[in-house]
Structure 1
């Protein structure tokens, strides 16, 4: 028989519709695939509607988010709530007038006129400048006399339009002071919040624009044709539309932090492309075996669809651990993340089969199965010869890569999450550097008493605590609430500041107080990690162990998989520390190190990377178990399993890395941290762990990989899950020329 190339266009001689002899595949997923194929126009129309609505409300999703959602359980947030209730204000708009002497007559006239006009605007609670009466005006004047601050407080009832009017009037001072070299920069917390939302939306859009074309190019190379390569991209775009709808719904019932949106988007894009890749790859295999389009869709849904569903379950289990935390950011990420996983799975199981029904004839079809000999099988054999050495070296490398995380510092970066070009960040940094009396104190003590009592507490207790460099001010907020600004030695969020927070909470002087500020927020978050982190980790580990046991029937492999995933996670967190805390490659990546990691980022990296790593673990172990169940020895099953799944795992990982790296190119520091960490985690897991460490460990344990106590074996026999399904034999394809199919189609498997 004449040999044909490994990949050819789908031949028109192959049957495109099911023959009466084609056996149906049993199971709900197969039935779902049949339904979506037959009703593909309705399915495509439904997802098109989801996409259109998602795009239309996409901008409104960002409008409904909150920059820095608070938690009712954290003392730092409770203190802020007490102050807000006593002195309700929506926030501040601040302008720095720089470059000309503060006492210049033209500058004075321009600033005081603008301040008076702003004070009369609706929604303004107060407006002050460096020329007003009282000692407070001195705090708004720089030490060198060349810059001053205008601070505007907006009333709680003020609107965004009123804040914008204030911002525009402050910016208009520029035209009056510019002739003499003056410059006006407008910021403040309201401007910062608006910039965070806009920059996050911009980075999200940029990530999508960059990653989708690149993934399309890579998939063209993987599949050898545009038709097959375009389906995962279409599925990913539709999934993003569904994700936007889900998050829009969540924003109506809970506070969604702005940072949640790009994180959920990057997860949705990555998973959608990953799952669609598996589905399209399996469809091509089934077509290569001689299946009609309808039969190939059905068999794809029954096999690859099962993989997708099981993978989605493992990722959802990993993300569900975030529900344990009380932090609204983590709770919102958990809710959004699980919904995104569900949408990605739904798109893969419904939209992709429908798209295969439309494009099946144009998808290039392989005429030979993946060979049993190749790069991956040879690698496994080399690893097997030195299994112990390879395992020790890989473990050592991963532990060394994770070691930098041991000295990681957690921080609330504040304005530093924005790019250096941000006006809000520039104003915040200028005030910190040149107007220390007007900047936010590292620690603020909220005292629920009058100013006299608060002053006595500040003098008798606060000022004498170790680490306190001074008490800057005692400010009466109302008759029953006062605040004490506490200054500390060294880093405002460093170890000394955290000790001061603990000391203030240990000695409240018999008063009702809440300790707030940046250092207190970090302390609260770290306390939550220490108390709830082990519970979350335990629940995720338990859920993962149960799922892998139900799939494999072994207690050894789930434990081994858990330990390997922790090693790859450690490497990712170590890289995160080196880059964003220690500043490695910061110039190349375009950011300034803040001296630590954003507080919640390591937790999110753990949940997301753990789920994604387990995704690849499930896919590889399922292939190995399938081969072992067919009678292969453990050694041969590992060799063939890695060989047959290595290419698709590597391709999926490459696409994931592209998606994560694309988002890492954005300017928001939090998005950049997540992108880099997840890209490293996936790259390490798909190469060092799956290609070397897993084969080495399985070769070392041999048949013991499949061990389980007899009661658990009986439990698995009764309730165990199977990631794969046995398919009935395909009926021989009857061609229009009535020649046997094997004369025109290459060998199958």
Structure 2
């Protein structure tokens, strides 16, 4: 056995633990009523005020200052229309007199409603408003930029009242789609919370053997979500918060809050089992598990900070919301949980014996260590194979596909694309800063001659010196050929000022942003993570190993994402129609979140291994004992995370499903295959080299290094009163 590090000098007679986190724990315990009142106020404000963030969110964040976004903004400035409400009148001949009367009467009524900019239908001379079979027509209502939700709702209601024998009406359009996305996102978020919280409570009862301890993580999670909603509402006042950000932030807040509270409660039980009073146990928990929580939160925040490198609003919004949620989850674990322990600490079952040095996890590690090289190679091969499908991932802007086919706006979008091709959004639109004549010449001389272009559908004047050119492409409207057309149009602008926009252009812009800024974001996250893990371990080897292993588990997550949502694996079971690709920004968000969560579990495990190594165990024994003492809590935390993510994946929104499935896979792989097999195998092969660092770095670590291990003062030798142990169980849980 190695020689242990020198022990700290004895503490004062009252056995008080030094350090800011210990002081914070003491303060929260002493003033627990005030702390509880504060968090109750945060929760109430989050429910009453923060819940309104769904109303102020924006569907579709765009790509910031990209050319596609600038072109859209130019058209919007010249023709300030908020959007369109579109009705499909289907099932009766368009030429039928009753249908004509019903539609024209409705169009006349709509034209006089407040907020309406214009109305077009098949009987007003607007082209392409009747289907080729003559049995369906469109009524398109353009809403002024100043129109209110109430005015949009009034237009929707009037369209739904179009009544003609044999015809039925379905109302959609981009404004209805946006509202349905907001409403369904809120429902999915609520559904995820309602489903996951009871399930996590059941798991925590099994882990802790009692309801009192199991309930604390749930209470902390609810308070954290309230605080997160309040924070996001505040940010929505100063920046656009994409609708898709809200469930992502909520699921992260729930998962982290439960994990952090789980660590705190578990350490509290351990300290009580050693004979600490409730006050002492809270203080010592804050000093030890609280340090792990703070360090873990910092690593997750560093992973999310890479999103700030990108310019797209959705990335920045997720970065702001994610970091805020991490901070709130940390604050709840470090303040609310100690206060709650002060209230219910006596009701929490206390383990009657420490975690044995021999058990399932230590035996597993020994078996792995005997065959370290084959195990490591097998794990690397499995993870690499699991990640391989992502190499063939196709980016695709979903549009109405984010909703299931049962939604009205999705039905209208599908009908327009299939039966009214002249009214469907063009795959590529060129905004020309010139008059219609010049734009027409450009369309004839340049656009129409490109090899991937099947034709120019329309050249439409928008203002005095602004014209749009709708370009049709051969094959997939967002495929390789369409994206190549975008590049060719941007390479040859015909001597005019143009902006190439549309879904294909947005995909190209997202790809360009990820390819140019992604390496910088990855570098920022990698450097930050390497520095933090070095400060914790003092090793130059362990941080690099952790980084590589996390990338492997992340690849498996992205591979599963591709198989499920691009190729349609289990799509019937999960209740969605595959779109043939991935939303362009989802892999970036999965990387940021999954990387942070993987590092979360890396910190949980390495902190215990490092503590044992500092106590004098050699590297091999430290790994065995470290996984034995932390394996159960890491596995439990991983299971809880998977439940949370799976609960959100059960919702209706496609993007929420993608994030939920990807993160559930990432956590499941990381908490099992990586932590239980790959990490022990790699550390066993490295041996004492795990802790190597150049002399200058060792010196630096001695000066500024961080450590999970805290030298706690000895507890006073005292018997635990029967009243304190009346409810003690025989539960044994790792720390």
**TM-score, normalised to structure 2's length?**
0.96
1:131 aligns with 2:116: no
- Structure 2 Cα separation of the partners of residues 377 and 739 of structure 1: 32
The one of 33, 41, 64 aligned to 1:41:
33
1:660 aligns with 2:652: no
Correspondence for 2:292: 307
Cα 1:737–1:54 shift into 2, 3 Å? closer
1:391 aligns with 2:380: no
SS in structure 1 of the partner of residue 311 of structure 2: coil
Correspondence for 1:11: none
Correspondence for 1:203: 188
Q: Which moved more, 1:504-513 or 1:122-131?
A: 122-131
Cα 1:368–1:166 shift into 2, 3 Å? same
Correspondence for 1:230: 215
Residues 666-745 of structure 1: matches in 2 within 5 Å? Answer: 666-734=651-719
Cα 1:737–1:693 shift into 2, 3 Å? closer
- Structure 2 Cα separation of the partners of residues 627 and 734 of structure 1: 27
Cα 1:501–1:737 shift into 2, 3 Å? closer
- Structure 2 Cα separation of the partners of residues 606 and 539 of structure 1: 13
The one of 30, 36, 41 aligned to 2:22:
30
Contact 1:290–1:745, Cα closer than 8 Å, also in 2: no
Cα 1:744–1:203 shift into 2, 3 Å? closer
The one of 437, 452, 476 aligned to 1:467:
452
Cα 1:426–1:731 shift into 2, 3 Å? same
1:193 aligns with 2:178: yes
C-alpha displacement of 1:736: 6.4
Q: CA RMSD in A?
A: 1.8
Correspondence for 1:9: none
Correspondence for 2:143: 154
C-alpha displacement of 1:568: 0.1
- Structure 1 Cα separation of the partners of residues 548 and 447 of structure 2: 46
- Structure 2 Cα separation of the partners of residues 360 and 567 of structure 1: 41
Contact 2:428–2:486, Cα closer than 8 Å, also in 1: yes
Correspondence for 1:616: 601
- Structure 2 Cα separation of the partners of residues 739 and 410 of structure 1: 59
C-alpha displacement of 1:72: 4.1
C-alpha displacement of 1:162: 1.1
The one of 78, 84, 98 aligned to 1:92:
84
Question: Runs of 5+ in structure 2 lacking a partner?
Answer: 1-11
Contact 1:307–1:724, Cα closer than 8 Å, also in 2: no
Contact 2:530–2:544, Cα closer than 8 Å, also in 1: yes
- Structure 1 Cα separation of the partners of residues 722 and 404 of structure 2: 66
Residues 283-302 of structure 1: matches in 2 within 5 Å? Answer: 283-302=268-287
Cα 1:382–1:417 shift into 2, 3 Å? same
Correspondence for 1:3: none
Correspondence for 1:515: 500
Contact 2:351–2:729, Cα closer than 8 Å, also in 1: no
Correspondence for 1:403: 388
Cα 1:740–1:574 shift into 2, 3 Å? closer
Correspondence for 1:249: 234
Correspondence for 1:417: 402
Correspondence for 1:104: 96
Contact 1:447–1:511, Cα closer than 8 Å, also in 2: yes
- Structure 2 Cα separation of the partners of residues 736 and 392 of structure 1: 53
SS in structure 2 of the partner of residue 646 of structure 1: helix
Contact 2:535–2:705, Cα closer than 8 Å, also in 1: yes
* Cα offsets for 1:31-78 (capped at 9, x unmatched): 000000010000000000000110012431101111112344100000
Contact 1:449–1:481, Cα closer than 8 Å, also in 2: yes
C-alpha displacement of 1:366: 0.3
Correspondence for 1:327: 312
Contact 1:21–1:731, Cα closer than 8 Å, also in 2: no
Q: Which moved more, 1:71-80 or 1:608-617?
A: 71-80
**TM-score, normalised to structure 1's length?**
0.95
The one of 130, 133, 145 aligned to 2:134:
145
SS in structure 2 of the partner of residue 345 of structure 1: helix
The one of 418, 427, 441 aligned to 1:433:
418
- Structure 2 Cα separation of the partners of residues 195 and 724 of structure 1: 50
Correspondence for 1:76: 68
Contact 1:575–1:680, Cα closer than 8 Å, also in 2: yes
Correspondence for 2:8: none
Correspondence for 1:8: none
- Structure 2 Cα separation of the partners of residues 735 and 683 of structure 1: 39
SS in structure 2 of the partner of residue 291 of structure 1: coil
Contact 2:607–2:709, Cα closer than 8 Å, also in 1: yes
- Structure 2 Cα separation of the partners of residues 341 and 93 of structure 1: 39
Between Structure 1 and Structure 2, how many residues are aligned? 722
- Structure 2 Cα separation of the partners of residues 595 and 738 of structure 1: 63
- Structure 1 Cα separation of the partners of residues 280 and 587 of structure 2: 45
Correspondence for 1:16: none
Correspondence for 1:605: 590
- Structure 1 Cα separation of the partners of residues 723 and 211 of structure 2: 31
Cα 1:117–1:719 shift into 2, 3 Å? same
Cα 1:737–1:660 shift into 2, 3 Å? closer
Cα 1:146–1:717 shift into 2, 3 Å? same
Cα 1:746–1:392 shift into 2, 3 Å? closer
Correspondence for 2:201: 216
Contact 1:319–1:338, Cα closer than 8 Å, also in 2: yes
Contact 1:448–1:482, Cα closer than 8 Å, also in 2: yes
SS in structure 2 of the partner of residue 52 of structure 1: helix
SS in structure 2 of the partner of residue 186 of structure 1: strand
- Structure 1 Cα separation of the partners of residues 49 and 575 of structure 2: 31
- Structure 2 Cα separation of the partners of residues 724 and 240 of structure 1: 30
Question: Runs of 5+ in structure 1 lacking a partner?
Answer: 1-19
Contact 2:536–2:706, Cα closer than 8 Å, also in 1: yes
1:479 aligns with 2:468: no
C-alpha displacement of 1:734: 4.9
- Structure 1 Cα separation of the partners of residues 144 and 722 of structure 2: 82
- Structure 2 Cα separation of the partners of residues 555 and 491 of structure 1: 48
- Structure 2 Cα separation of the partners of residues 285 and 45 of structure 1: 28
Cα 1:734–1:373 shift into 2, 3 Å? closer
Correspondence for 1:263: 248
Correspondence for 1:356: 341
* Cα offsets for 1:211-233 (capped at 9, x unmatched): 00000000000000000000000
- Structure 2 Cα separation of the partners of residues 504 and 674 of structure 1: 34
SS in structure 1 of the partner of residue 29 of structure 2: helix
- Structure 1 Cα separation of the partners of residues 414 and 584 of structure 2: 20
Cα 1:740–1:570 shift into 2, 3 Å? closer
C-alpha displacement of 1:733: 2.2
C-alpha displacement of 1:248: 0.3
Correspondence for 1:318: 303
Cα 1:736–1:619 shift into 2, 3 Å? closer
C-alpha displacement of 1:183: 1.1
The one of 607, 610, 631 aligned to 2:616:
631
C-alpha displacement of 1:717: 1.1
